[in-house]
Amino acid sequence: MSRGVLVTGGSRGIGAAIAAAFAREGDHVAVHASAPSDHALATLAALPGTGHQLVFADLQDPEQVRAMVDEAATALGRIDVLVNNAGVFFAHPVGETDYESWQQAWQATLGVNLIGAANVTWCALQHMPDEGRIVNVGSRGAFRGEPRSPAYGASKAALVAFGQSLAKDLGPRRIAVTTLAPGFVETDMAASELIGEKGVVRRAESPYNRVANVGEVAEAVLYLASPQAEWASGAVLDFNGASYLRM
Protein backbone atom coordinates (compact mmCIF):
# COMPACT_ATOMS: atom_id res chain seq x y z
CA MET A 1 0.00 0.00 0.00
CA SER A 2 1.42 3.35 -1.01
CA ARG A 3 1.95 6.02 1.62
CA GLY A 4 1.75 9.80 1.55
CA VAL A 5 5.18 11.27 2.28
CA LEU A 6 6.12 14.91 2.90
CA VAL A 7 9.81 15.76 2.52
CA THR A 8 10.87 19.27 3.51
CA GLY A 9 13.83 20.74 1.68
CA GLY A 10 13.16 18.16 -1.00
CA SER A 11 14.10 20.03 -4.16
CA ARG A 12 17.80 19.15 -4.27
CA GLY A 13 20.64 17.28 -2.62
CA ILE A 14 19.72 14.97 0.23
CA GLY A 15 16.05 15.91 0.11
CA ALA A 16 15.72 15.12 -3.59
CA ALA A 17 17.36 11.73 -3.04
CA ILE A 18 14.97 10.99 -0.16
CA ALA A 19 11.96 11.95 -2.27
CA ALA A 20 13.17 9.69 -5.10
CA ALA A 21 13.74 6.77 -2.73
CA PHE A 22 10.15 6.90 -1.44
CA ALA A 23 8.77 7.32 -4.97
CA ARG A 24 10.66 4.21 -6.10
CA GLU A 25 8.88 2.32 -3.31
CA GLY A 26 5.55 3.33 -4.86
CA ASP A 27 4.78 6.08 -2.33
CA HIS A 28 3.22 9.42 -3.24
CA VAL A 29 5.56 12.27 -2.33
CA ALA A 30 5.02 15.95 -1.60
CA VAL A 31 8.30 17.73 -2.28
CA HIS A 32 8.67 20.94 -0.27
CA ALA A 33 10.84 23.83 -1.38
CA SER A 34 11.11 27.36 -0.03
CA ALA A 35 10.14 28.84 -3.41
CA PRO A 36 9.61 27.76 -7.02
CA SER A 37 12.84 26.94 -8.85
CA ASP A 38 14.21 24.92 -11.73
CA HIS A 39 15.69 22.49 -9.18
CA ALA A 40 12.28 21.87 -7.65
CA LEU A 41 10.57 21.33 -11.00
CA ALA A 42 13.33 18.98 -12.15
CA THR A 43 13.12 16.94 -8.95
CA LEU A 44 9.36 16.55 -9.27
CA ALA A 45 9.61 15.61 -12.95
CA ALA A 46 12.23 12.95 -12.21
CA LEU A 47 10.20 11.11 -9.57
CA PRO A 48 9.00 7.69 -10.74
CA GLY A 49 5.30 7.00 -10.50
CA THR A 50 2.39 9.41 -10.21
CA GLY A 51 0.53 11.34 -7.55
CA HIS A 52 3.45 13.55 -6.50
CA GLN A 53 3.15 17.23 -5.62
CA LEU A 54 5.39 20.26 -5.29
CA VAL A 55 4.61 22.52 -2.30
CA PHE A 56 6.20 25.77 -1.17
CA ALA A 57 6.71 27.61 2.10
CA ASP A 58 9.22 29.75 3.93
CA LEU A 59 9.59 27.60 7.05
CA GLN A 60 10.18 30.72 9.13
CA ASP A 61 6.58 31.77 8.42
CA PRO A 62 4.08 29.75 10.52
CA GLU A 63 1.10 30.52 8.29
CA GLN A 64 2.96 29.54 5.14
CA VAL A 65 3.90 26.30 6.90
CA ARG A 66 0.28 25.55 7.78
CA ALA A 67 -0.91 26.24 4.23
CA MET A 68 1.90 24.16 2.73
CA VAL A 69 1.21 21.12 4.91
CA ASP A 70 -2.53 21.35 4.31
CA GLU A 71 -1.89 21.49 0.55
CA ALA A 72 0.38 18.46 0.77
CA ALA A 73 -2.19 16.52 2.77
CA THR A 74 -4.93 17.38 0.28
CA ALA A 75 -2.79 16.22 -2.63
CA LEU A 76 -1.65 13.02 -0.91
CA GLY A 77 -4.88 12.16 0.90
CA ARG A 78 -3.00 11.96 4.20
CA ILE A 79 0.55 12.23 5.52
CA ASP A 80 1.84 8.85 6.63
CA VAL A 81 5.50 9.91 6.74
CA LEU A 82 7.08 13.26 7.50
CA VAL A 83 10.78 13.80 6.80
CA ASN A 84 12.05 17.03 8.37
CA ASN A 85 15.05 17.47 6.09
CA ALA A 86 15.12 21.21 5.41
CA GLY A 87 18.03 23.02 6.99
CA VAL A 88 20.25 26.07 6.64
CA PHE A 89 23.86 26.69 7.64
CA PHE A 90 25.45 30.10 8.11
CA ALA A 91 29.05 30.70 9.18
CA HIS A 92 29.07 33.01 12.21
CA PRO A 93 32.02 32.26 14.52
CA VAL A 94 31.57 34.35 17.65
CA GLY A 95 34.95 36.06 17.44
CA GLU A 96 34.51 37.12 13.81
CA THR A 97 30.85 38.14 13.62
CA ASP A 98 29.28 41.52 14.39
CA TYR A 99 26.30 41.58 16.73
CA GLU A 100 23.67 42.24 14.05
CA SER A 101 24.92 39.38 11.87
CA TRP A 102 25.11 37.14 14.94
CA GLN A 103 21.45 37.75 15.72
CA GLN A 104 20.42 37.22 12.11
CA ALA A 105 22.26 33.90 11.91
CA TRP A 106 20.61 32.60 15.06
CA GLN A 107 17.15 33.76 14.05
CA ALA A 108 17.33 32.28 10.56
CA THR A 109 18.96 29.01 11.63
CA LEU A 110 16.59 28.27 14.48
CA GLY A 111 13.68 29.54 12.42
CA VAL A 112 14.20 26.88 9.78
CA ASN A 113 16.08 24.03 11.46
CA LEU A 114 14.14 23.90 14.72
CA ILE A 115 11.03 26.07 14.93
CA GLY A 116 10.20 25.46 11.29
CA ALA A 117 10.54 21.72 11.77
CA ALA A 118 8.42 21.88 14.92
CA ASN A 119 5.66 23.78 13.13
CA VAL A 120 5.71 21.43 10.13
CA THR A 121 5.43 18.51 12.55
CA TRP A 122 2.46 19.97 14.42
CA CYS A 123 0.64 20.62 11.15
CA ALA A 124 1.51 17.21 9.69
CA LEU A 125 0.23 15.42 12.76
CA GLN A 126 -3.24 16.84 12.07
CA HIS A 127 -3.20 14.64 8.94
CA MET A 128 -1.19 11.64 10.17
CA PRO A 129 -2.90 8.35 10.99
CA ASP A 130 -1.75 5.99 13.72
CA GLU A 131 1.42 4.05 12.89
CA GLY A 132 2.84 7.02 11.00
CA ARG A 133 6.52 7.90 10.92
CA ILE A 134 8.51 11.08 11.55
CA VAL A 135 12.19 11.18 10.60
CA ASN A 136 14.23 14.23 11.51
CA VAL A 137 17.46 14.78 9.60
CA GLY A 138 19.94 16.03 12.17
CA SER A 139 23.73 16.17 12.07
CA ARG A 140 26.86 14.93 13.81
CA GLY A 141 27.26 18.64 14.58
CA ALA A 142 24.68 18.20 17.33
CA PHE A 143 27.28 16.21 19.28
CA ARG A 144 30.74 17.28 18.16
CA GLY A 145 30.10 21.05 18.16
CA GLU A 146 30.13 23.51 15.26
CA PRO A 147 32.55 26.34 16.13
CA ARG A 148 31.96 28.19 12.86
CA SER A 149 28.19 27.82 13.09
CA PRO A 150 27.12 27.46 16.71
CA ALA A 151 23.48 28.10 15.82
CA TYR A 152 23.55 25.11 13.48
CA GLY A 153 24.98 22.79 16.13
CA ALA A 154 22.48 24.05 18.70
CA SER A 155 19.54 23.68 16.32
CA LYS A 156 20.44 20.09 15.50
CA ALA A 157 20.95 19.18 19.15
CA ALA A 158 17.56 20.67 19.96
CA LEU A 159 16.01 18.74 17.06
CA VAL A 160 17.18 15.51 18.71
CA ALA A 161 15.53 16.49 22.00
CA PHE A 162 12.38 17.53 20.17
CA GLY A 163 12.19 14.18 18.41
CA GLN A 164 12.70 12.25 21.63
CA SER A 165 9.96 14.23 23.35
CA LEU A 166 7.59 13.41 20.50
CA ALA A 167 8.59 9.76 20.56
CA LYS A 168 7.37 9.58 24.16
CA ASP A 169 4.20 11.50 23.41
CA LEU A 170 3.22 9.71 20.19
CA GLY A 171 4.12 6.17 21.21
CA PRO A 172 0.53 5.30 22.21
CA ARG A 173 -0.46 6.07 18.60
CA ARG A 174 2.41 3.87 17.36
CA ILE A 175 3.91 6.84 15.57
CA ALA A 176 7.68 6.31 15.64
CA VAL A 177 9.96 9.35 15.71
CA THR A 178 13.66 9.02 14.93
CA THR A 179 16.64 11.21 14.06
CA LEU A 180 19.29 10.51 11.44
CA ALA A 181 22.59 12.28 12.18
CA PRO A 182 24.76 12.31 9.05
CA GLY A 183 28.30 13.52 8.76
CA PHE A 184 29.50 15.29 5.63
CA VAL A 185 27.52 14.38 2.50
CA GLU A 186 28.53 14.94 -1.11
CA THR A 187 26.03 17.38 -2.60
CA ASP A 188 26.15 20.23 -5.11
CA MET A 189 25.97 22.75 -2.29
CA ALA A 190 28.92 21.13 -0.53
CA ALA A 191 31.07 20.68 -3.63
CA SER A 192 33.46 23.51 -2.75
CA GLU A 193 34.41 21.71 0.48
CA LEU A 194 35.51 18.63 -1.45
CA ILE A 195 37.92 20.31 -3.85
CA GLY A 196 41.69 20.23 -3.43
CA GLU A 197 43.30 20.09 0.00
CA LYS A 198 40.03 20.82 1.78
CA GLY A 199 38.53 17.73 0.17
CA VAL A 200 41.48 15.59 1.21
CA VAL A 201 41.09 16.71 4.83
CA ARG A 202 37.32 16.26 4.79
CA ARG A 203 37.49 12.72 3.41
CA ALA A 204 40.25 11.78 5.85
CA GLU A 205 37.89 12.43 8.76
CA SER A 206 36.51 8.94 8.10
CA PRO A 207 38.61 5.75 8.13
CA TYR A 208 36.87 4.94 4.84
CA ASN A 209 38.53 8.05 3.37
CA ARG A 210 35.33 9.31 1.79
CA VAL A 211 32.12 11.14 2.61
CA ALA A 212 28.58 9.85 2.26
CA ASN A 213 26.58 10.09 -0.92
CA VAL A 214 22.96 11.21 -0.95
CA GLY A 215 21.69 7.76 -1.92
CA GLU A 216 23.10 6.22 1.26
CA VAL A 217 21.40 8.85 3.38
CA ALA A 218 18.11 8.33 1.56
CA GLU A 219 18.20 4.58 2.16
CA ALA A 220 18.77 5.14 5.88
CA VAL A 221 15.76 7.48 6.02
CA LEU A 222 13.71 4.91 4.12
CA TYR A 223 14.49 2.30 6.77
CA LEU A 224 13.69 4.62 9.69
CA ALA A 225 10.34 5.36 8.06
CA SER A 226 9.53 1.68 7.54
CA PRO A 227 7.07 -0.41 9.57
CA GLN A 228 10.04 -2.48 10.77
CA ALA A 229 11.61 0.53 12.52
CA GLU A 230 8.91 1.08 15.13
CA TRP A 231 11.16 -0.06 17.98
CA ALA A 232 13.80 2.48 16.98
CA SER A 233 11.48 5.28 18.06
CA GLY A 234 13.37 7.87 20.08
CA ALA A 235 16.72 6.74 18.70
CA VAL A 236 19.43 8.70 16.93
CA LEU A 237 21.22 6.90 14.11
CA ASP A 238 24.78 8.21 13.72
CA PHE A 239 25.55 8.03 10.01
CA ASN A 240 29.01 9.42 9.50
CA GLY A 241 31.37 6.62 8.50
CA ALA A 242 33.05 6.67 11.93
CA SER A 243 34.19 10.26 11.31
CA TYR A 244 32.81 11.19 14.72
CA LEU A 245 32.26 8.63 17.48
CA ARG A 246 30.42 9.08 20.76
CA MET A 247 29.27 6.86 23.60
Q: How many CB atoms lie under 10 A from the CB of residue 228? A: 9
Q: Are 114 and 162 in contact (CB under 8 A)?
A: yes
- The span from the CA of 41 to the CA of 224, in Å, is 27
Alpha helices in the chain (DSSP H): 13-24, 38-46, 62-76, 99-110, 117-125, 141-144, 150-170, 196-204, 214-224
Which candidate in 99, 152, 223, 244 is catalytic?
Answer: 152
Q: Are 88 and 13 in contact (CB under 8 A)?
A: no
Q: How many CB atoms lie under 10 A from the CB of residue 26? A: 12
Q: How many CB atoms lie under 10 A from the CB of residue 35? A: 9
Q: How many CB atoms lie under 10 A from the CB of residue 91? A: 12
99 a catalytic residue: no
Q: Are 218 and 183 in contact (CB under 8 A)?
A: no
Q: What residues are annotated to the active site?
A: 152
